[in-house]
Chain A
Amino acid sequence: MRLTGYFIILIGLAGIHLSCTNRESAVEKATKNKILLFGNQTEPQDLDPHIVTGVPEFQIIESLLEGLTILDPQNLSPLPATASSWEISDNGLVYTFNIRKNAKWSNGDPVKASDFVFSFQRILSPALGSEYAYMLYCIKNAREFNKSQIDDFSEVGVKAVGDSILQIELCKPVPYFLSLIAHHSWYPVHPPTILRFGSIDTRGSKWTRPENFVGNGPFILDSWDINKIIIVKKSGTYYDNESVSLNGINFYPIENNLTEERSFRTGQLHITSSCPLNKIRWYRSNQPQNLRVDPYLGTYYYLVNVNNKPLDNKNVRKALALAIDREALTEHVLEGGQLPAASFTPPNVAGYTYGNALSFDTTEARKLLEEAGYDKNNPFPPVSLLYNTHESHHTIAQAIQQMWKIYLGIDITLINQEWKVYLETTQNHKYDLARMGWISDYNDPNSFLDLWITDGGNNRTGWSNLTYDSLVHAASLISDKEERFRLFSEAERILLDELPVLPIYFYTNVYLIHSSVMGWTPNILNNHNYKFIDLE
């Protein structure tokens, strides 16, 4: 028994020793040194703006590099950044940017217009295999170059006139072009650094390592420990250094959202990337000032495979849509402040709002089902709902399964597949209904409506409607806002009448933020340039 006695005394001692080391929380210390502690969800694939696609990568790159324009956190309108000013030709096809004189790279080199030409050529070069190259297809001949139909980059509508003038010629007018180029696919890279570690289109080169990275953003890359931490420090060469109040940012790749929330609660993080569903209710009642529920430019919907019986019948699709109690879902199940989706595009996308097309009407839904010929003696054939393995999809699918069972009396089976298997199944149209979500990259209805044009890359429903295609195509050619929005709403009316997709709710970005963080204004693109952030 002596042994266990020693054991207990040992633990007691360790406990006392640890508890008496009282220290101010990490957040208080960091706030004093103006270092932002940022929960960044996962380990970034890479820090090369032309290769990465995810949000965690973008959050870091945004501090290291800066494009021609940045977005105003309040209204997401484009602000001058590396380009101090610009002129647009009358036909809206040619944009001329004046590069800021005092814009410098972190190694002191001045930022030249040719750097941008080099960068656009890099992301468009086929060998790099960039998944976001299509963002630049609005430039003349960019698509052809990227599909290696032409291989001389000089034919692409990008020209550097001297060191400080950059001219971009588009193949069609793009009203939202100035906010489009704030996307990281348009970011410049430092040509000498790229060429030091390989050719212009070498993928996965070592240039993004802390010791090699050269950027033109407000911060420089200080250290990168895999799955542990990424530290950026304030850059000395940034042209607008005075207005940058942060001294540095620590990015923590904490994958488990429960761990992230706990770290926040013990003062180890200023901001988290998300908030676990079940904690929202607690924060809403106990610490409302730390909880943020910002609208987010994205829609959660179910894909419908219009070729499979019985879903090929429009009435059936409509019945299914009307039998979903979206209020109950968002209020009781999700509790994340999400808005029930009565249309496909979220409200107020750059001023465009479609209005409510879908309501919760079970009698109408049952009537439609009967019209489609399904009732007691002709039972509804088996239909499956596919979703990928994730906590909230799991809950939502079961709730909707139950709603369709009670309100329409139909039984659907739920199939839960691992992420990549799920993607493969949807791409090969081997499903009846499938969960899908779309978060827009830029603030324009086009990003939502051009998804469903006939054999569009992301149109996995097999649905095709020529009038819809022509309307969306026409809207993309016109620069006048009212006319474009009229065409878009006409197209969305067709979409919501045919219902190849069943919109469920509009995303919200729910996260936790410490009261000492200033200037983190909410916006639907979740875009927060670190220049405007401060710590009290």
Chain B
Amino acid sequence: MTDPGALLVRAVLLIPASSAALLALFPDDRATGRLNALAALLTFFAAAGLFFFRPAPSAFLIVDDVNVAFTVLNTFVGFTTSVFSASYIAHELDIGRLTPVYLRFYHAMYQTLMFAMNLALLANNVGLMWVAVELATLTTILMVGIYRTPAALEAAWKYFILGSVGIALALFGTILVYVAARAVVGEGLDAMAWNVLVARAGSFDPTLLNLAFVFLLLGYGTKVGLAPLHAWLPDAHAEGPTPISAVLSGLLLNVALFAVLRFKMVLSANPQALAPGPLMVTMGLISVLFAAFMLYRRHDIKRMFAYSSIEHMGIITFAFGMGGPLANFAGLLHMTYHSLTKSAIFFSVGHIAQVKGTQTMADIRGLTVTHPVLGWGLVLGVMTIVGLPPMGIFMSEFLIVTSTFARQPALAVALAAGLLVALGALVLRLNGLAFGEPRGRNAPAEASFVPMFAHLMLVLAAGIYLPAPLVAWFQHVAKLLG
């Protein structure tokens, strides 16, 4: 056991798992928040180590260009969110929305979720990944319902039903992939290992692969929140604790999409299989347009940004559906930027909801006057999410639209229209939230804004300069994605 990479991988998985158990038993309800952040920080360090030491792929775990960046991103956002959640949850405790027992439960679940997501990212085995995604779903279901208000329970119930059906479909797809692989690779774990699948997919039975991809797209697509499978997403974001909304939008959606991507690689490695592009493009475009119009009639601020997440997942799916080095690269970039930006937005939204005591946008006005830092943070976040420069999302959207327009003008125009409609809605609401005569109660915001601005600054920096190794990985992955 001398390979440092293997150690790091174990660390990335075991730190959250063990700290989950620890936090479940930890008595002091104040320190748990900090402990939670600490655990997340350690996980992040371990994951960052993977940049430098890469273990050889085992039967169950793998670290390659595809997942290394996402793992680090995942642990990083996990850490910042835990910092945010520490102050957020403390406030929830003060106003008595949560009892200490539930708080303990919450932190345990948080770490479990981190464990599940890391596992899903690092899994080298389709079955294992499926189990991990399912576990992640379960934990989030529990957290969404944690306030136990009727609305929260209803949201969790909806999430549960739709999520489980999605899980079932994904499992069937996974089984089909195995059946396809078994005929070539032979029985056993190899027939479920990524590296093997991608390597040998050329000789799989195309029909099975197609069928499998349909189920996987729908199954994991439900988790991604693509319309028309999105229904659980807005309510889950709106009713759960804000840190969970941040993790949902910023990470869980990415993880699900990541699963879809893995399978897309397998498919695109097989010449006879149908090109998955058209399906993904269609679903992506539907999601973008649908979400864009849904944004206009929102009253609840968190639900609105949830819809914006649907829109962006649509954009990303669209990009990968278009394929080609440019679009794929852009899609990967967009995944990264979106998870950073959207979680930052949810951080600010969480603070806003706490200082204003409401999530109804009609009661929130003139934030830049009453809470300059918070207000301008929100402005910056929204400007980023609608794709205005110099923030990173502009770069990815630039690449997606231009590269599409050269090949499929009609699609690009439709996408651009969707982007514009969404921008219209978000900026319209932003005008009301951040500007104008202040309205509603304004308690001073005591929480720390470091995580929010850290994310935004990262996106800003990435919009101007991308580190070379990241580019190299993404370009390699883009090639694999075909």
Q: Do A and B bind each other?
A: no
